Structure 1
Amino acid sequence: MNITTHRMEHDLLGDKAVPSAAYYGVHTLRALENFNITGITIAAYPDLVRALAQIKLAAAQANRELGLLDNARTEAIVAACREIIAGKYHEQFVVDVIQGGAGTSTNMNANEVIANVALEIMGHQRGEYGFLHPNEHVNMSQSTNDVYPSALKLATYVGIFRLVDSMAHLRFAFERKAEEFADVLKMGRTQLQDAVPMTLGQEFSTYATMLGEDEERLKEAALLIREINLGATAIGTGINAHPDYAALVCRRLVETSGIPVITSPNLIEATQDCGSFIQLSGVLKRVAAKLSKVCNDLRLLSSGPRAGFGEINLPARQAGSSIMPGKVNPVIPEVVNQIAYEVIGNDLTVTFAAEAGQLQLNAFEPIIAHSLFKSVLHLSRGCTTLADLCVDGITANREALRATVERSIGIVTALNPYIGYANATDVAAEAHATGLGVAEIVLARGLMTREALDEVLRPEVLTRPRPLPTRANV
């Protein structure tokens, strides 16, 4: 072993050579050997890395205020954490996102990197833990069991509002289209059968409303995510922490992170309960299911161009076939559909992992974290992609939509109050049997005058509530 390329570190299992260039240490190195699972490291989630550093910074400040940590070590730890929060050393967070040990490897990865950066700030070499130790000083008054879930909540809180912003971006795109298509008359459908007329603007405004509702549901879920268990230490009893530590570290964390976290009123409950993660995952599933439904509609409404609905045109993004020239596929809605399927699957993973917790701790929070982070990230990117590469470029086939309304038997519903249900049924049956238009049959039967019919069939009359005639006036 070349001593210039490695340093020796010691843990419970014995001595181990750690690469000299590494800021992580022996605990992280063992995790690298044990958990070669996904090939995705926790560095892939920078919000989590920053959250870990924010917690360690707040803990150091709280411990100094309580007289437990000297000023020199505190300042070195704080400085190291601030560098990580600013984006440095993230490549040193190397453990796999899926790991055994309830997140201990992630916590130790953070402790070791922060300790070695702090040692250099103090003028020492990496690994000289006699001056500043990952467990004794960086992890003071803490346990993985309160650090890891609190870090997950900080990171998830940031992700939630990034997703809310992306959803709002998509909602605005649908709102713009709703305004653009406000005068475009079309047939509504139920169960894929002709229903009654509406405007394309009304259809698109519905999508905007659906997104807006779920933005609010996400904000509600964020309120639960704010509750943390820092100060719980191992199982929630606060062993090895000062009685004032929990309240103090929470205040410091609010200052450091800018996130309005609160300390759980029952730290034993908070250490084992994953209810807030289940709640959030359920809301993400709701977002995914509704977003996928919207994409299904876009694909159906744009189907064709000659043999489908052909009501709208999605912007062409790429050639659609290696064998069929001229074919263009709805690739953007398709990719968002697939994101939705993943999120729905992630929700099941979160549910099983949360249920699998036993007694005072849930050991399966790493897979909960990985699932939630993926769901939030992919939904955020999916919403932005759908808005920018699809919705903004949608156009309407106005004449074809109008012709569909005029041919549809469904408009007979609008005539019910004027000609009666029985007459409307007969007109519908004749139209279906002969292929004639509803208006043509109504006029031929003398059921309404042309002037009265034209008035009833105006778009602004067909697509919103209106006073109905009395039978005496029909």
Structure 2
Amino acid sequence: MDAMPVTFSQEMSAWSAQIQDAIEQYEQSMTKIQQLAIGGTAVGTGINADPHLSEKCCKHMNNLTGMEFKPANNSFQAISSQDAALILSSSNKTLAVALTKISNDLRWMNSGPLGGLGEITLPALQPGSSIMPGKVNPVIPESVCMVAGKVIGNDLTITHAAQSGNFQLNVMLPLVAHSLSESLSLLSNACLSLADKAIKDFEVNQDNIESMLSRNPILATALNATIGYETGAQIVKKAYQEKRSIIEVATEMTDLDSKTLAELLDPVKLTRNQ
């Protein structure tokens, strides 16, 4: 069902906030993934290893990578569990879910041109349908949704692998590493594609949006405080049945002049609770 209007900047601010939350979750997961079990040797006791091996290795790796690796707080736990990998995988899933939401919003807004919303036009990246001439599919949002499905599946795979440790041994580390690496690579490419080939250059269909707004009965919500709910509902019903604009019908059914109605029903003001 239709609800109150929002601006494109408001909609995109929601996308931005979702991505920022995902970034913050990644940053938190890094504090765990950078704790290494190295130096714990076979079972966490550090048998046959230099007592300072873990510190020396972490320092050397930090110099090479610019990362902040450090010895795990508990080498027995670090060897026997894959909690850090699981936390990172959860961050992947969070981002995948956010990208799916954004992609689906884009697909809905791009739907049409006549049988859908038609609020935006995404860049055409392919000739079109092999069956229907001129039909252009939202291939980037669609591909991002497929990536998200794969990442969510990989998260379940990593969950299964992480719970398969027995005492101080987990033989499924190759599966964890492969799934994490694949998900990170897929998400990285998906983010770039969605930003550069979909969001960056989509066009807003201003005329279509204004036409839909002017005829949308939901605008009468703004009149509740002035004319009351019941009268507003009657205006909505009449406008919808007769396929006329709210302002036109409200002019006939209330004592408000067209200028006052135009101010009350201004969609921009409705997005600011004015």
User: TM above 0.5, one fold?
Assistant: yes
Deviation at 1:436, TM superposition (A): 2.6
The whole-number CA distance in structure 2 between the counterparts of 1:359 and 1:198 is 54
**Which whole-Å CA distance do the structure 1 matches of 2:20 and 2:58 have between them?**
32
2:73 matches 1:249:
no
Aligned to 2:4, what secondary structure does the other structure show?
Answer: strand
Shift in Å at residue 212 of structure 1?
Answer: 1.8
Structure number with bigger Rg: 1
**2:6 corresponds to which letter in structure 1?**
M
**Does the 8 Å CA contact 2:247/2:265 hold for their aligned counterparts?**
no
Instruction: Classify the secondary structure of the residue corresponding to 1:196.
Output: coil
2:221–2:232 contact (8 Å) kept in structure 1: yes
**1:260 paired to 2:62:** no
Which of the numbers 320, 325, 335 marks the counterpart of 2:133?
A: 325
Q: Unpaired runs of 5+ in structure 2?
A: none
Out of 214, 217, 222, the position equivalent to 1:409 is 217
2:248 paired residue number: 440
Higher-RCO chain (CA-CA 8 Å, sequence separation at least 6) = 2
Counterpart position of 2:238 = 430
Question: Are the equivalent residues in 2 in contact too, given 1:196–1:414 (CA < 8 A)?
Answer: no
Q: For each residue in 1:131-172, what CA deviation from the matched residue of structure 2 results, as whole angstroms up to 9, or x when unmatched?
A: xxxxxxxxxxxxxxxxxxxxxxxxxxxxxxxxxxxxxxxxxx
Is 1:308–2:116 an aligned residue pair?
A: yes
Say whether 1:345 aligns with 2:159. Answer: no
Give runs of aligned pairs for residues 169-180 of structure 1, distance below 5 A.
none
Aligned residue number for residue 357 of structure 1? 165
Residue ranges of structure 1 left out of the alignment (5+ in a row): 1-192, 467-474
Deviation at 1:238, TM superposition (A): 0.3
Alignment match, 2:269:
461
Does structure 1 retain, via aligned residues, the 8 Å contact 2:247–2:262? Answer: no
1:388 matched residue in structure 2? 196
Is the contact made by 2:44 and 2:75 (CA closer than 8 Å) also made in structure 1?
yes
Aligned to 1:293: 101
Aligned residues with identical type, % of pairs: 38
Q: State the shift of 1:447 in Å.
A: 4.4
TM-score (normalised: structure 2): 0.95
Distance 1:328 1:373 in 2: 33
- Give me the whole-angstrom Cα distance separating, in 2, the residues matched to 1:391 and 1:244: 50
Matched residue SS, 1:363: coil
How much has 1:306 moved relative to structure 2?
A: 2.1
Q: Could you say if the C-alpha distance between residues 367 and 447 of structure 1 is closer, same or farther in structure 2, counting changes exceeding 3 Å?
A: farther
Residue of structure 1 equivalent to 2:16: 208
Tell me if 1:276 matches 2:84: yes
In structure 2, do the counterparts of structure 1 residues 357 and 313 end up closer, same or farther at CA, with 3 Å as the change threshold? same
2:196, 2:124 → 1: CA distance?
A: 13
Equivalenced residue count is 274
Stretches (4+) displaced over 3 A: none
* Secondary structure of residue in 1 paired with 2:25: helix
Residues 229 and 263, structure 1, Cα contact 8 Å, conserved in 2: yes
| Shift of residue 252, structure 1, vs aligned partner | 2.5
